[in-house]
Structure 1
């Protein structure tokens, strides 16, 4: 039913408008009595409970950063069966993001191109909402993904990240340093080990006891991925999230004119599956047991989730397929995982 609704209705709407409309429905799903009904229909089976990062997750499958940038849909997403919600990317300074249009569907590829540019209301607003949420509900596992404010020079990035970490780490179940979005000028350059080491050291000190992870790009050469993984272990980080969106456009089925019209930005969705899985296997082979690896990119089905778990992922995240599969996507994956 949902695929028909997507083809006939949602696919005709501006993607960003459709996202905001969907978020309104998700927010309603997190409010009683709708939340009670949703949880009754979507709650993960007890056997899916997963231990990672020193935390207990109702399911190994959660929502990746980017879906809920401003901590407004956490309860609704949890009510829909997701085992955790990673909010953000949040920046220390509020910012509107890049000019619109900045979100584009590549429907034949079940993919999306985005150049949102970390549009968010800032770390202080996110902290206020998290404080309110934590007073009411401690059961939802919430990760917080932080990035560099656009107006801050790359040379001053560490202090900018520390500002966000200081505000948000005490309210997060885990914290993620995003240095891999292609939509903030100079950000991916922070993945160079010589630059990344002092940045991660500073953020780890600010994060205190909150588990800290770093999110990496799929476009890095394998030797650089290995170097980052070894650095993360050396610094005592809790894990790595692999991967962010890609700047590659290889192998797409969508009309090249449509791809060109979408322009620059990060590609997410099904085309990322092969590379994301390869990066997961590389990271897992590099880091020791007990170091968490979170896999994201091209995940659509329970079979995809299981493949990532079998390849060594502790947790798996998705986002883009939510747009194509609808609000019961989390429930579908959890039910199929339980059967497996």
Structure 2
């Protein structure tokens, strides 16, 4: 009996020590923010979970500040301005990750220059049926068809207001969407402008998600003119000094004529947005995609979108003569990807999918590599690099 008890005790001790050792290994790896640890150990384990569950766990991880704060000060070369905002670096988090404004504090700690939350609809809605998120591991891509699942204006406003009391300096963009049942679309965007004007650094009018029926039709000239005229009028009625800039987020799947129409509309005074976000996810499926999940319906983001979005950035930069700020999004996984989007004409950048695949260290990695490329090319800062290769990247030379 004593022998059995002794063996049981040894097994328990061994299990305890093993568990503690594994916990310490992962704890130290997370604390040190080592990209090799994430790429070789943590992210492969995370990717064993269903994609939407992994997304939820990541949001909670940032919410409870489980990831270490950036200690290193960003290079002066990365500092840039966008409107009245001075950003320590041009790399932001795209909408779609923190949909409900739950993790702004934790996300701001890991080195982003700015954060965008949403899309947010006036009334809470569940979005599309599950499963609605799919990993394309071999393609470094994600397909999602969330469909504007949202906690609604009231809940997100409460969180953002509380965050602003603690930190009023972080640049927080509020991405606005419409409820599925809303028939007059501009009414929902107007509600968002009025609701979040006191707490948003900037607004994004999202009419380019492919996952809400009929939404992309709002990019057509007549619909867009009505929508933007209503939204801009509402913003301009706000108290002087409390009128956040408005960005329009567009699809990467637009035809040349569509792009011309959009630029024509936003050139009109009553529809003049302050900037464009290029671009949202794509419904196109490149023949080179390897993953079986490519057959799923929804918006594709990640590496396969990179060149498509970069060409569109360059094209719009040329067509607008660089006079409208562009936030470049789509397939940014390293410093070279970021550098290309800036030299195509982007004033700032956003990522999402690379964070899903590589975890928080990707932010520091991209910034470091971008800084090295600026230095190697004799460029004083991000602004000096903006648009210098637009004609080449647009495919004109």
Q: What band does the TM-score fall into relative to the shorter chain?
A: over 0.9
1:38 alignment counterpart:
69
The match for 1:123 is: 153
Structure number with larger C-alpha Rg = 2
- What are the ranges of 5 or more consecutive residues in structure 1 without an aligned counterpart? none
Out of 310, 323, 336, the residue aligned to residue 356 of structure 2 is 323
Task: Give the aligned partner of residue 48 of structure 2.
Answer: 12
1:285 alignment partner, one of 315, 318, 322: 318
- Conserved 8 A contact 2:276-2:325: yes
| Matching residue of 1:202 | 230
CA distance in 2, matches of 1:58, 1:174: 17
Distance 1:7 1:164 in 2: 36
2:283 aligned residue: 247
Structure 2 counterpart of 1:70 = 100
- What secondary structure sits across from 2:134 in the alignment? strand
Shift of 1:288: 4.0
What's the secondary structure of 1:117's corresponding residue?
coil
Matched residue, 2:206: 178
Which stretch of the first structure deviates more once superposed, 83-92 or 223-232?
Answer: 223-232
The answer to whether structure 1 residue 306 and structure 2 residue 336 are counterparts is no
SS of 2:47's equivalent?
A: helix
2:218 corresponding residue in structure 1: 190
2-structure distance, mates of 1:289, 1:169: 27
Q: Could you tell me how far apart the structure 1 residues matched to 2:309 and 2:90 are?
A: 17
**Runs (5+) with no aligned partner, structure 2:** 1-36, 237-242, 374-397
Contact 1:81–1:331 (8 Å) recurs in 2? yes
1:286-329 deviations in Å (ceiling 9; x for gaps)? 22444211110111111111111111110111100111111111
TM superposition score normalised by structure 2:
0.80
Conservation of the 8 A alpha-carbon contact between 2:220 and 2:261: no
**Which secondary structure does the structure 2 equivalent of 1:5 belong to?**
helix
For residues 128-172 of structure 1, give each alpha carbon's deviation from its aligned partner in whole angstroms, at most 9, with x where no partner exists: 11111111101211111101111112xx11111111111013311
1 or 2 for the larger relative contact order (CA 8 Å, sep ≥6)? 1
Which whole-Å CA distance do the structure 2 matches of 1:206 and 1:48 have between them?
34
The 1-side partners of 2:108 and 2:74 are apart by: 10
CA RMSD of aligned residues (A): 1.6
2:267 partner SS: helix
1:92 corresponds to which of 112, 117, 122? 122
State whether structure 2 residue 325 is matched by structure 1 residue 297: no
What TM-score results when the alignment is normalised by the length of structure 1? 0.93
Say whether the 8 Å CA contact 2:326–2:345 is kept in structure 1: yes
* 2:209–2:299 Cα contact (<8 Å) kept: yes
